[in-house]
Amino acid sequence: MTYKRYQYESGMIRDLIKTLVLVATLAANGIFMPTAFCSPPPLQTSATQSSEEIEYGVKAAFIFNFMKFIDWPAEKKAEQDKKQSEKSPMIIGILGNNPFGQSFAPILDKTIQERTIQIVNIESFQEYLRQHGNSQSAVTAYQNKYQQLIQQCDILFICRSEEKTFARVLLITKSHAVLTVSDLPDFAKNGGMIEFVEENKKVRFEINLHAVTQKDIKIRSQLLKLARKIYNDESRG
Amino acid sequence: MKIKVWTSFLQIPTAILLMGVSCGFAHGENSKTGNSEALFDMSIEQLMQFELDTVYTASRFEQKITEAPSAVTVINADEICLYGYKTLLDILESVPGFYKTYDRNYGYLGVRGFGRPGDYNSRVLLLIDGHRLNDNIADGLLMVRDFSLDVDLIKKVEIVRGPGSALYGSNAFFAVINVITKNSSDYNGLELASYLAEHNTASARATYGQVFNDNFQGLFSGTYFDQDGQPLYYGEFGGTADNDDDNANSFLVKFSFSDWTFLATHVQREKGIPTAPWGTIFGDRRTRSDDAMTQIGLTYQHDISDDLSILGRVAYNRYDYDGSYAYDDGGEYINYDFWKGRWWTGELQFTKMFSDTHRLIFGTEAQYNIRQDQKNYDEYGVYLDDHKHSKSWGMYIQDEFHLTRNLSLISGIRQDYYDSFGFTVNPRAALIYQAFEDTTFKFIYGKAFRAPSVYELYYNDGNATTKSNPDLQPEEVESFEIVWEQTIDETYHLTCSGYYNTVENLINQQTDPGDGLAQFQNVSEVTAKGLEATLQGRWKNGVRMKTGYAYVRTHDKSTGSTLTNSPEHMVHFNLIYPLISETLLAGIETKWTSERKTLGGNKINDSFVTNLTLTYENLLKHLNVQLGIYNLFDESYQHPGFEEHLQDVLEQDGRTVGVKLTCRF
What pLDDT was estimated at residue B37? 66
The pLDDT mean for chain B works out to 89
Tens of pLDDT along B74-90?
Answer: 998 889 999 999 999 99
From B49, B188, B202, residue closest to A17, measured CB to CB: B202
Average pLDDT of span B303-314: 88
Backbone angles phi, psi at B133, to 5 degrees: -110, -20
Alpha-carbon span A89 to A81, nearest angstrom = 9
Task: Tell me the sheet residues that pair with B613.
Answer: B587, B628
What pLDDT was estimated at residue B116? 86
Q: What is the number of other CB atoms lying within 10 angstroms of the CB of residue A160?
A: 15
Write down the pTM of the prediction. Answer: 0.78
Q: Are B22 and A48 within 8 A, CB to CB? A: no
Using alpha carbons, select from B108, B107, B88 the residue that is nearest to residue B150: B88
Q: What one-letter code names the amino acid at B194?
A: S
What pLDDT was estimated at residue A15? 58
Residue B155, pLDDT > 60, answer yes
From A20, A34, A41, residue closest to B23, measured CB to CB: A34
Alpha-carbon span B411 to B427, nearest angstrom = 8
Q: What is the number of other CB atoms lying within 10 angstroms of the CB of residue B1?
A: 15
Q: CA B553 → CA A70, A153, B497, B549, B606, distances in Å?
A: 62, 59, 14, 14, 16
Using alpha carbons, select from A207, A199, A152, A213 the residue that is nearest to residue A181: A207
Alpha-carbon span A43 to B389, nearest angstrom = 45
Percent of chain A scoring above 90 in pLDDT? 14
Could you tell me if B347 and B354 are in contact, meaning their C-beta atoms sit under 8 angstroms apart?
no
Q: Are A14 and B306 within 8 A, CB to CB? A: no
Could you tell me if B89 and B144 are in contact, meaning their C-beta atoms sit under 8 angstroms apart?
yes
Alpha-carbon span B645 to B638, nearest angstrom = 14
Tens of pLDDT along B444-500?
Answer: 999 999 999 999 999 887 787 888 999 999 999 999 999 999 988 878 889 999 999
Using CA atoms of B182, B207, B26, B228 in order, give the dihedral in degrees to the nearest 10: 110
What pLDDT was estimated at residue B221? 97
Average pLDDT of span B598-609: 93
Q: What one-letter code names the amino acid at B448?
A: A
- Distance from the B212 Cα atom to the nearest Cα atom in chain A, whole angstroms: 9
- Distance from the A171 Cα atom to the nearest Cα atom in chain B, whole angstroms: 22
Q: Are A203 and B47 within 8 A, CB to CB? A: yes
Backbone angles phi, psi at B172, to 5 degrees: -85, 60
Residue B438, pLDDT > 90, answer no
From B51, B245, B661, residue closest to A42, measured CB to CB: B51
From A44, A58, A223, residue closest to B30, measured CB to CB: A44
What pLDDT was estimated at residue B511? 83
Residue B114, pLDDT > 90, answer yes
Could you tell me if B121 and B140 are in contact, meaning their C-beta atoms sit under 8 angstroms apart?
yes
Closest residue in A to B436 (Cα–Cα): A161
Tens of pLDDT along B491-523?
Answer: 888 999 999 999 999 998 888 888 888 889 998
From B18, B30, B47, residue closest to A65, measured CB to CB: B47
H/E run at residue B475:
strand B475-488
Tens of pLDDT along A58-76?
Answer: 899 999 989 888 888 888 7
Strand bridging mode A115-122 / A70-71: unpaired
Chain B residues touching A28 at Cβ < 8 A? 19-20, 22-23, 620, 623, 663, 665
Q: Are B185 and A7 within 8 A, CB to CB? A: no
Using alpha carbons, select from B192, B204, B176 the residue that is nearest to residue B8: B204
- Distance from the B393 Cα atom to the nearest Cα atom in chain A, whole angstroms: 28
What pLDDT was estimated at residue B347? 96
Could you tell me if B295 and B265 are in contact, meaning their C-beta atoms sit under 8 angstroms apart?
yes
> What's the angle, vertex CA B427, arms to CA B423 and CA B433, rounded to 5?
175
- Distance from the A58 Cα atom to the nearest Cα atom in chain B, whole angstroms: 7
Task: Tell me the sheet residues that pair with B128.
Answer: B131, B179
Chain B residues touching A25 at Cβ < 8 A? 15, 18-19
Report the half-sphere exposure of B467 (CA within 13 A, side-chain side). 12
Q: Helix (H, G, I), strand (E, B), or coil: what is residue B458?
A: helix
For the ranges A25-39, B344-358, B603-617, the lowest mean pLDDT is seen at A25-39
Q: CA B332 → CA A44, B281, B335, B644, distances in Å?
A: 58, 9, 10, 19
What pLDDT was estimated at residue B29? 26
Distance of CA A227 to the CA centre of its chain: 15
Closest residue in B to A97 (Cα–Cα): B437
- Distance from the A82 Cα atom to the nearest Cα atom in chain B, whole angstroms: 30
Q: Are A34 and B12 within 8 A, CB to CB? A: no
The set of residues, in sequence order, having a beta carbon less than 8 Å from that of B253 and lying 6+ positions away, is B218, B219, B220, B262, B263, B264
Q: Are A16 and B204 within 8 A, CB to CB? A: yes
Alpha-carbon span B284 to B281, nearest angstrom = 6
- Distance from the B127 Cα atom to the nearest Cα atom in chain A, whole angstroms: 20
- Distance from the A172 Cα atom to the nearest Cα atom in chain B, whole angstroms: 25
Chain B residues touching A188 at Cβ < 8 A? none
What pLDDT was estimated at residue B233? 95
Could you tell me if B63 and B351 are in contact, meaning their C-beta atoms sit under 8 angstroms apart?
no
Q: Are B52 and A201 within 8 A, CB to CB? A: yes
H/E run at residue B385:
strand B381-404
Chain B residues touching A100 at Cβ < 8 A? none
| Higher-confidence position of B353 and A102 | B353
Confidence of residue B40 (pLDDT cuts 50, 70, 90): confident
Using alpha carbons, select from A67, A103, A57 the residue that is nearest to residue B50: A57
Cβ-based burial of A42 (10 A; exposed 0-12, middle 13-18, buried ≥19)? middle
Tens of pLDDT along A101-120?
Answer: 778 887 888 888 788 888 99
What pLDDT was estimated at residue B249? 96
Q: CA B170 → CA B66, B92, B361, B476, distances in Å?
A: 26, 20, 19, 10
Closest residue in A to B41 (Cα–Cα): A61
Average pLDDT of span A183-207: 87
Could you tell me if B216 and B256 are in contact, meaning their C-beta atoms sit under 8 angstroms apart?
yes
Q: What is the 3-state secondary structure (H, E, C) of A168-222?
A: HHHHHCCCCCCEEEECCCCCCCCCCCEEEEEECCEEEEEEEHHHHHHCCCEECHH
Which of A7, A15, A43, A181 is the best mutation test for B, with the most CBs of B within 10 A? A43
Alpha-carbon span B225 to B147, nearest angstrom = 12
The set of residues, in sequence order, having a beta carbon less than 8 Å from that of B506 and lying 6+ positions away, is B475, B522, B523, B524, B525, B526
Average pLDDT of span B197-204: 94
Q: Are A40 and B542 within 8 A, CB to CB? A: no
Task: Tell me the sheet residues that pair with B443.
Answer: B431, B482
Average pLDDT of span B394-413: 93
Chain A residues touching B78 at Cβ < 8 A? 45-47
What pLDDT was estimated at residue A81? 74
Alpha-carbon span A151 to A138, nearest angstrom = 19
Strand bridging mode B246-257 / B492-511: unpaired
Confidence of residue B93 (pLDDT cuts 50, 70, 90): very high
Which of B4, B50, B156, B215 is the best mutation test for A, with the most CBs of A within 10 A? B50
Q: What does chain A look like in DSSP terms, one character per residue?
A: -----SSS-HHHHHHHHHHHHHHHHHIIIIISPPPPPSSPPPP---SS--HHHHHHHHHHHHHHHHGGGEE--HHHHHHHHHHHTSPPPEEEEEESS---TTTTGGGTT-EETTEEEEEEEE--HHHHHHHH-SSHHHHHHHHHHHHHHHHH-SEEEEPGGGTTTHHHHHHHTTTS--EEEE-STTTTTTT-SEEEEEETTEEEEEEEHHHHHHTT-EE-HHHHTT-SEEE-S----
For the ranges B19-28, B49-58, B277-286, B543-552, the lowest mean pLDDT is seen at B19-28
- Distance from the A127 Cα atom to the nearest Cα atom in chain B, whole angstroms: 13
Which of B4, B22, B225, B355 is the best mutation test for A, with the most CBs of A within 10 A? B22
Confidence of residue B15 (pLDDT cuts 50, 70, 90): very low
Could you tell me if B336 and B358 are in contact, meaning their C-beta atoms sit under 8 angstroms apart?
no
- The sign of the dihedral angle between the CA atoms of B428, B433, B434, B440 is negative
Alpha-carbon span B338 to B323, nearest angstrom = 6
- The sign of the dihedral angle between the CA atoms of B303, B304, B305, B310 is negative
Alpha-carbon span A194 to A206, nearest angstrom = 6
Residue A48, pLDDT > 90, answer no
Alpha-carbon span B472 to A114, nearest angstrom = 77
Backbone angles phi, psi at B350, to 5 degrees: -120, 140
Q: Helix (H, G, I), strand (E, B), or coil: what is residue B436?
A: strand
Pairs of residues, one from chain A and one from chain B, whose beta carbons lie less than 8 Å apart? 218
Q: Are A203 and B665 within 8 A, CB to CB? A: no
What pLDDT was estimated at residue B26? 28
Chain B residues touching A200 at Cβ < 8 A? 61-62, 303, 309
Tens of pLDDT along B619-641?
Answer: 766 788 999 999 999 999 999 99
Q: What one-letter code names the amino acid at B550?
A: A
Closest residue in A to B61 (Cα–Cα): A200
What pLDDT was estimated at residue A20? 62
Using alpha carbons, select from A80, A99, A199 the residue that is nearest to residue A151: A80
The set of residues, in sequence order, having a beta carbon less than 8 Å from that of A144 and lying 6+ positions away, is none
Q: Are A202 and B49 within 8 A, CB to CB? A: yes
- Distance from the A187 Cα atom to the nearest Cα atom in chain B, whole angstroms: 13
Q: Are A5 and B228 within 8 A, CB to CB? A: yes
From B4, B12, B437, residue closest to A161, measured CB to CB: B437
Distance of CA A91 to the CA centre of its chain: 14
Average pLDDT of span B393-398: 96
Q: CA B68 → CA A50, A157, B40, B125, B429, distances in Å?
A: 18, 28, 31, 18, 11
- Distance from the B550 Cα atom to the nearest Cα atom in chain A, whole angstroms: 24
Residue A84, pLDDT > 80, answer no
Q: What is the number of other CB atoms lying within 10 angstroms of the CB of residue A26?
A: 15
